[in-house]
Amino acid sequence: MRTVDSPVTPIPTPTFVRGVEAALDVIRQGGRVFVHCKHGRHRSVAMAACILIAMGDTAETAMQRLRQGRRRADPHIWYIRRQIERFERYWRKQRPGGEQPAAVHG
């Protein structure tokens, strides 16, 4: 999935939703997902955080896990953090009662 991202043109939430749903389908079937972008600091980190949120993490926990796993990752830069937090609000609202794909998290 190609995206353009900058503080002026952030990745739209529906793009994250499409990526997350595709990733969850693969993960539920026992597969693995490789998320990348040119520098591995922002876009891929945002998508990976959204996948972790869909699997039950909070935005903060997802960002911490990614930062620990990849030192170059920069999920806390303001416009990426804002995108991740926006996705979390959207995702939780769409799944009232905290519905999470329990079979996915692990």
H or E element, residue 17: helix 13-28
Q: Is the pTM of this model over 0.95?
A: no
Q: Which of 8-17, 66-75, 82-91 has the lowest mean pLDDT?
A: 8-17
Rounded Cα distance, 102 and 81, in Å: 25
- The one-character DSSP state at 30 is T
Dist CA 106 CA 61 (whole Å): 14
Domain ranges in the chain are 13-94
The pLDDT of residue 85: 97
* pLDDT tens-place string over residues 13-50: 999 999 999 999 999 999 999 998 888 888 999 999 99
Topology classification of domain 13-94: Protein-Tyrosine Phosphatase; Chain A (3.90.190)
Q: Quickly list H helices, 1-106.
A: 13-28, 43-54, 59-69, 78-94
